[in-house]
Amino acid sequence: MDTRGTRGTGRGRGARGGGLLVAGTTSDAGKSVVTAGILRWLARQGLKVAPFKGQNMSLNSFVTREGAEIGRAQAMQARAAGVEPTALMNPVLLKPGGEASSQVVLMGRPVGELSARGYHGGRQEALLGTVLDCLAELRATHDAVVCEGAGSPAEINLRRTDIVNMGIARAAGLPVVVVGDIDRGGVFASFFGTTALLSREDQALVAGYLVNKFRGDVSLLEPGLQMLEKLTGRRTYGVLPWREGLGIDEEDGGLGVRAPGAALPPVGEEVLRVAVCAVPLMSNFTDVDALAAEPGVRVRFVERADEAAYADLLVVPGTRGTVRALAWLRERGFAGELARRAAAGRPVLGVCGGYQLLGGRIEDEVESRAGVVPGLGLLPVRVRFAREKTLGRPAGTALGLPVEGYEIHHGVAEADGGAPFVTYADGRARDGCVVGAVRGTHWHGVLENDAFRRAYLTEVAREAGRRFTVAGDTEFGALREAQLDRLADLVEEHADTAALLRLVEAGPPPGLPFVPPGAP
């Protein structure tokens, strides 16, 4: 690839690497997955590539090696590209804290809370320079950067302050491919309408389309694709088929498990059933994906206590609204269910905010400003919310085995009794608390440690009285790699990769026609 020229419409801010923006007709059209697939395919061609998303709204985040918080989707895309994730790949992260406000994380660090009106009313536009600088730095050090858009590029009410879709495409001269989810229906109207609602200048960057999640005979789709090209003057670069189990760590994937290998038959006599409380503002729900990857482990998100009565393990996950989640658990009957489980010695696991909820006392003048609130009282832990957020990638031991994880929390927990869940590698600090079969930890990702996960599930099966045998060869990291390779295979087999590579190298095709009426 020629990374020295400035072909196409210009690379912007001195960047020399190629680029592509993967936009979508809607949220959840498959932008994250398609971006990961293209990145892995390019990496397999020997190119040095990187992901980028200027602004991400997600409660599903990750901590980089330098201690910066970014969206987990970009961390997984970095893995697809074979590079270490950094704050450059997601300079602006918005973490919703309620109906009308979000925490703004800039270059991996929280800088305050803003309402949607306050953010879109001026702050967002001011961040464009930072976003473009990050993109330029990545392009200066990589052969290509594949950018992911957010929502739809045709959100005309937000175009003036856009820093993630056509705003950066225009400023950086990026070609744009629009992804549409045909499984939802209306994909032709979505492609046409998305294009026709863009300004003439923005339309000049939209090279064409990618159909995602197609079921059936592609030949039946061809007449529609040909008509779409006649109407818009833009080609379709591929039709990606529907495949189960291809979701990667998403921004807001809803209540579902995306783990590779999910629902495999058990090795032993019985399955192990896991219920996850679907608390409000749930964060890092991907923590349980590693459990679901184990043969014979069945994971389900539940919204009422009676739905959890069957479970051998009840998980309380992280949340951006600890006090709000506490009220929800009480309203839905989970407080009583958790207390009964603890008394009977049945397994309970709390992660991050879920760990805080299991404690006896919460002092919150930061997140909810609710003051002192009694917790569920299952662990001898007091939680005090600090204004400074703890961000880290710690290592240590749990159940006598080496573990790594990552921390993202304002709550500081002090245990007055019980055993530690994790001992840090320096041996001087501990995290979490264990009393009987109730365990809590601030560490996200701890279940992705294979040896620990096996030992933990063996303990859970014993406490639950299940004749469950953990598989001895499940490697979660290897499963993730295989999943990313499957995404790249789909791109290679069902998209015109030569044409996509030309877009990355040379920019948008010249002379793309205007589709009226354009932006109002």
The residues assigned a catalytic role are 352, 444
* Three-state secondary structure call for residue 431: strand
Closest to 31 (Cα-Cα) out of 154, 178, 215:
178
Question: Residue 449: exposed, middle, or buried by beta-carbon count in 10 A (0-12, 13-18, 19+)?
Answer: buried
**Sign of the CA dihedral 87, 92, 93, 95?**
positive
3-state secondary structure 356-381: HHCCCEEEECCCCCCEEEECCCCCCE
Neighbours of 233 (CB within 10 A): 17
Q: Are 53 and 147 in contact (CB under 8 A)?
A: yes
Q: Are 18 and 143 in contact (CB under 8 A)?
A: yes
* Three-state secondary structure call for residue 215: coil
Closest to 186 (Cα-Cα) out of 228, 153, 156, 217:
228
Amino acid at position 261, single letter: G
Distance CA 219, CA 182 (A): 15
Q: Are 39 and 146 in contact (CB under 8 A)?
A: yes
3-state secondary structure 245-280: CCCCCCCCCCCCCCCCCCCCCCCCCCCEEEEEECCC
Distance CA 326, CA 159 (A): 38
Closest to 310 (Cα-Cα) out of 261, 256, 271, 268:
271
**Sign of the CA dihedral 279, 345, 439, 285?**
negative
